[in-house]
Amino acid sequence: MYRTRDIKFVASHSPSLQFNGLHSRNSRLKMSSDSSVASLPENPIVLGCGSVSLDFLATVAAYPKPDDKIRSTNLKVEGGGNTGNALTCLARLGLKPRIISKVADDTRGRGIVDELDADGVDTSYFVVSKEGTSPFTYVIVDNQTKTRTCIHTPGHPPMVLEDLPESSLLSAINGARIAYFDGRLHETALLVAQEAVRENIPILIDAERPREGLNDLLKSADYVVCSEKFPQVWTEAPTIPRALVSMLLRLPKIKFVIVTLGKDGCVMLERNASEGHPTEEVDVDGLLESLEMRKNENITIPTCISSSVTKLKAEGIGTVCGRLYVGTAENIPPSELIDTTGAGDAFIGAVLYAICANFSPEKMLPFAATVAAAKCRALGARSGLPYRGDSRLASFLH
C-alpha cells in the first residue's frame, strides 16, 4: 500500500462513456472567489472516514420489468460513496476536508482518487491496495418516477486496522474542527472516533441504516443525521418524533438529531442543556403536528419552523428538554428535477459546514436543503453540488 498522490488517472475519451468527475482547479477557485462571500470558518478542516465508490449512472425512460431489455438515455461515470460525496460538497463550499478510505490500484481506484484531488479533498490518508478491486455502484435513474436504484459492489480487500498506523491517524486528526463517519469501515471508524473523543473533536454520524459497529460509533456522536426509516428501526418507537426523543435519551452525548424526509424536508430535535427547564410537558407527536400545520405551501424555497424550548414527552418512552424544528425542502419544478443520487450526502455536507460556521438551526436547515436541491438538478452525486460562489447560496454565506 502507498499514498494515492503517487497515482495518476487518465480519463476515457469515449464520447459515450466518459469519466465526468474531474474539474479544473482553476475554475473551482474562480467560482469560489466572489468578493461578496463571507470569510471562511476559522477552522476549515473536516476529517471524514468512510465509503468511496465509482458510480456508473444509467438514465432510463422507465424502470425495466424483469427480463426486459431497454436502452439508457444517458450514461455517466462519476465518483460516489457517502463520505466521498459529503467531503466533495465541503471542498466546493471552501473548507479543507481530509478523507480516510481505501481503494485498489486499478482504473476505478485511480479515478476515485483523482476526482477527489481535483475538487480539493486531501487524499493523503487514503490506503491503496496493490491488488484487489475498488468499490463501484450501478445506479439506475428512472426519468418517469424520478427515483434511483443502486447496486453496490464493495471493494476488496476491505480496510483493516493495520492499514492506518498511529502516525497517520494522529496526523489526519490533527487540527480537525469536526469528524464525520458514514458507518462504513467500522473498525477503522471506531479507532478514529476514539481518538477524536480524546482530542475533544465533535463527531457527526450519518445513520443511514443499521450496520455492524454503528451502535458503538453512535455512543461517541455529538450530532446524528438519519435517513427516514432509521430512527424507528433503531429505537422500535411507533412514530418518528418519539423515536427522536428515544435517541436523545439513549445517547446522552448527542446535541441534535436530524431525520431527512426527501421532498418532505426534515425534522430536527435539539437537546437543551441550559438551566431552568420548563416544567410543563408537551406531547412530541402533537407538537410536530402543530409545526407541520404552520408550513406555507406557497413558499417554494426552504424554510425552518421551530418550537420553543419545552419538555417533550414521548408516550411510553420518556421526556427530554429540547426544541423541535421542521425544515422544508425546496419545491423543485419537475422539469428541473434530474436525479436525487447523493442528495442526502449533499445535505450532510452542508450540515457539517453549518456546524463549522456556527449557523443557528434556523439558518442551517434551509442552507442544507438548498445545497441538496442544487445537487438534484444534475445527474450523479457530485455534478450538481454548488460551489461557494454560487448565487443560490449568497443569502447564507455573505
Q: Is residue 33 part of a domain?
A: no
Q: Is residue 189 part of a domain?
A: yes
Residue 21, pLDDT above cutoff 80 = no
- Res 6: pLDDT: 39
- Res 39: pLDDT: 83
Give the bridge partners for 27, in sequence order.
Answer: none
Cell matching residue 46: 473536516
Domain that holds residue 157: 42-62+73-388
Residue 327, pLDDT above cutoff 50 = yes
Q: Is residue 32 part of a domain?
A: no
Residue 272, pLDDT above cutoff 80 = yes
Residue 27's pLDDT band (boundaries 50, 70, 90)?
Answer: very low
Q: Is residue 260 part of a domain?
A: yes
- Res 25: pLDDT: 40
User: How wide is the angle at C-alpha 166 spanned by C-alphas 355 and 79, nearest 5°?
Assistant: 55
Q: Coil, strand, or helix at residue 32? A: coil
Q: Is residue 68 part of a domain?
A: no
Q: Is residue 2 part of a domain?
A: no
Cell matching residue 274: 441550559
Are the C-beta atoms of 200 and 223 separated by less than 8 Å?
A: no
- pTM here? 0.90
CA–CA separation, 175 and 43 (whole Å): 8
Q: Coil, strand, or helix at residue 212? A: coil
- Res 160: pLDDT: 94
Q: Is residue 153 part of a domain?
A: yes
Q: What is the pLDDT of residues 127-147, one digit of tens each?
A: 999 999 999 999 999 999 989
CATH label of the domain that carries residue 100: 3.40.1190.20
Mean pLDDT of the chain: 90
Question: Phi, psi at residue 319, to the nearest 5°?
Answer: -130, 155
Residue 23, pLDDT above cutoff 50 = no
